[in-house]
Structure 1
Amino acid sequence: MSVNVDTETARPGDDSYVEAAWKLKERIRHDEDVLKQRKGFFTDAYRRSTVYLLLSKEGGDERLMGFAAVRRDGYILFLAVSPEFRGEGVGKRLVGQVAEEHDTITCHARASNENALGFYEHLGFEVARHIDNYYEDGGDAYYLKLGKSSSLTEKLSEFMRG
């Protein structure tokens, strides 16, 4: 049986897939001790964002592979990839979708989250600054940035060729 990958976009005000995104985020939080936001905060941010989603469809079964919730200014509020789809380019595809709409992409990553930091570094993000006690639980963060106006497209093109 073949697996199809569909791309969906939930525009601000559209809460399609919010429950599936919440469940994925919570599974990652439980297993990896990251993405610790409360449900009200998460749901509100999801509904105010443009959310890019990748879905695996096999027969009648649909699974959320990953999602990126993005503000109008290109700031990624949430980026989550289901563990069983990591290493398959899902995160890169999601960031690529964001790059199609924004000249600059920014986000925060927990300073202790080596997987996320390695992923963002691999895509060409640079650490703009370190922020002490950024998270509610006192955890530190890095503010990351990709692109300087016109160079984002060049960086992603270079990355895709490499």
Structure 2
Amino acid sequence: MAALPVELYWRVCYTVVVSVNIDSRVVAPGSDEFVEDAWQLKERINSQEGVLKQRYEFFTDAYRRSTVHCYLQDDELVGFAAVRRDGYILFLAVSTEFRGQGIGKRLVARVAEDHDSVTCHARTSNENALEFYEHLGFETKRRINGYYEDGGDAYYLKLGDDSGIADRISEFVRR
């Protein structure tokens, strides 16, 4: 697996000024740790933005099968990324109160440490997510009509191509 160079990882993950103490944890596949907190965070975002529309059973099953990178403040979940073994991000969510503090970038950087490429789907109407992923250097590989259970369309996005994921992250850091 390709790992980010230590200096690059440090810049991506630790140069963000955060006014509060944020702890990170990794939840191994098969664990329920933080699953209910993650569901509640996802549901708050869904009610505010109309995205992350998964059903409870689908969400909890996928969560339990994933490695989940979590960020917490005072033991409250403020962001998480649930990732399959192949580097596919199933869910990425950051509490609206904590956006703009680099938590999403740090979550993607954590995933990129362990995988040669990072992929995900994003709803074509989710402009915030699409801007976020584009800013990090993800490329749209294809559009999938009717991808979501409610009939919504998605883009399949990928970070890491012929130039390698470390180079892509390096480009992001220089921006």
Q: If the TM-score is normalised by the length of the shorter chain, which range does it land in?
A: over 0.9
Instruction: State the partner residue of 1:46.
Output: 63
Query: How far has the Cα of 1:14 moved from its partner?
Result: 1.2
Instruction: State the partner residue of 2:7.
Output: none
Query: How far has the Cα of 1:150 moved from its partner?
Result: 6.0
* Amino acid aligned to 1:128: K
* Amino acid aligned to 2:145: D
**TM-score (norm. length: structure 1):** 0.93
Could you tell me whether the CA contact under 8 Å between 2:137 and 2:171 is conserved in 1? no
Instruction: State the partner residue of 1:79.
Output: 92
Query: How far has the Cα of 1:105 moved from its partner?
Result: 0.5
Give the ranges of 4+ consecutive aligned residues of structure 1 lying more than 4 Å apart after TM superposition.
none
Query: How far has the Cα of 1:158 moved from its partner?
Result: 2.7
**Cα distance in 1 for residues equivalent to 2:24 and 2:129:** 22
Equivalent of 2:29 in 3, 7, 12? 12
RMSD across aligned C-alpha pairs, in angstroms?
1.2
Query: How far has the Cα of 1:91 moved from its partner?
Result: 0.4
Instruction: State the partner residue of 1:25.
Output: 42
Percent identity over the alignment? 68
**Cα distance in 2 for residues equivalent to 1:101 and 1:32:** 30
Could you tell me whether the CA contact under 8 Å between 1:123 and 1:156 is conserved in 2? yes
Report Cα offsets for 1:86-115 as digits up to 9, x if no partner.
011010000000000001000000000000
Indicate yes or no: 2:82 matched with 1:69: yes
Could you tell me whether the CA contact under 8 Å between 2:144 and 2:156 is conserved in 1? yes
Indicate yes or no: 2:131 matched with 1:138: no
Mark the runs of 5 or more structure 1 residues left unpaired by the alignment: none
Query: How far has the Cα of 1:149 moved from its partner?
Result: 6.3
The structure with the greater share of residues assigned to strand is: 1
2:22 partner SS: strand
Query: How far has the Cα of 1:4 moved from its partner?
Result: 1.5
Could you tell me whether the CA contact under 8 Å between 1:103 and 1:149 is conserved in 2? no
Alignment of 1:90-109 (within 5 A): 90-109=103-122
**Cα distance in 1 for residues equivalent to 2:163 and 2:171:** 13
Mark the runs of 5 or more structure 2 residues left unpaired by the alignment: 1-18
* Amino acid aligned to 1:111: T
1:100 partner SS: helix
Does the C-alpha gap of structure 1 residues 42 and 65 become closer, same or farther in structure 2, counting only changes over 3 Å?
A: same
